[in-house]
Chains A and B, each alone.
Chain A
């Protein structure tokens, strides 16, 4: 079954430093991949998505992600982190079934930003 793995449960970065959050997928064909962010006590907000085409995808809030088929990865990056980026980040893969479509999520990476 299509799935994603986020190897890092927690990551701490200093404000202004660069960020990379890892996501590996398991799927034979080209997957539909997403990154969502969840601020404390809030729902999930879509940062970016990849379906096909250009492997470098730009999203909101200055985030980008690169699809690498050879590494089965879809890592999220940001050149300079702001304190407001502290949140939980989820990678997800689109899964089709006979009747519809849904997302399978990774277990999330919690980002802490230090001054």
Chain B
């Protein structure tokens, strides 16, 4: 199967600090990874598309300077929440699209619960 991991699974940070979340595809390569945000009892909201070796594409309303994305290799994408505030507290989920895959193959990580105090 296609396994995607995220680290950390939970993080608590103080307001004003930055937090980095890693997303790794463990047994496949992914040119494209996606970052989602999910509020309690709500669906997933796409934040940005992360492309290996190029700049991420952000969805409308998502601040690119606030949510820094780096896709340094075919198996790793990172999301850094800069100068975090309590309203950034959320469940962040990444997904990856295998190189071999068609337009509909996306595998999701287990998510990272961010709490900003």
A complexed with B: no
